[in-house]
Amino acid sequence: MKKLEEILGTATPELLDPQYVVAVARHRGVVHWLLLEPENLVLDWRKRRDEFVSAGHQFPDLNVVAAQRAGIVVLDQDTADDFLRAPEAHKLSPEFLQLALLERFQNAQSWWDVGFLFPIAFIDFDSRRFAGFYQSGPRLERYVPDGWEGEFVDFANTYPADVFPASDKFWIVDGHDLLHELNERGRALEASRIKADD
């Protein structure tokens, strides 16, 4: 743990906890790695509230909800600077994430063993685009600001290099795509389980 603490910026290793998720934000051409509470990835709280209310549910006051995100009700290109400076947006260094992955990689049987290190969302403030890729929780891509595109897509593998460069992907080490290798391990493990069940 000492090595992690030495290279870690604002966030601490204890923050790599199920209550937090990793996300990527692209703003003014720069990729930022963030550790957040999942609810902070609901970009437009008004849309989320309206959906709840129309379904007959109560929803907390928007000011109370927004207080957990520096008072920002709608997170978009106009509020990106405030959000990225907010203490709720814990900054992560890709070096920290890479080291955390490398420390666990040898024993990981698949992505599932290290999934908490990988981003579940890509917020592209420059292109007004949100991509989610996660296994549980609210459909984050439904709550994007007006004029934005929201999609559920494997952005780690499908976004072009001009949007998400390989140099910003901590799982690419010395030209080797460790995410791809983890996925291959998972497929092989699943295939062996199926074969054993036959």
From first to last of the 198 residues of the chain, give the pLDDT tens digit.
Answer: 344 444 444 455 666 677 889 999 999 999 999 999 999 999 999 999 999 999 999 998 998 888 989 999 999 999 999 999 998 898 999 999 999 999 999 999 999 999 999 999 999 999 999 999 998 888 999 999 999 999 999 999 999 999 999 999 999 999 999 999 999 999 998 888 887 877
Give the pLDDT score at 15: 60
At residue 5, the pLDDT reads 43
- The tally of CA atoms less than 13 A away on the side-chain side of residue 130 is 24
* Locus of tokens 């509470």: 37
Instruction: Give me the number of domains the chain comprises.
Output: 1
Query: What is the tens place of the pLDDT at every residue in 140-168?
Result: 999 999 999 999 999 999 999 999 999 99
Domain that holds residue 67: 2-197
Alpha carbon distance 102, 107 (integer Å): 10
Furthest CA-CA distance within the chain: 56
Please state, in angstroms and rounded to a whole number, the distance separating the CA atoms of residues 176 and 158. Answer: 17
- pLDDT at 141 (0 to 100): 96
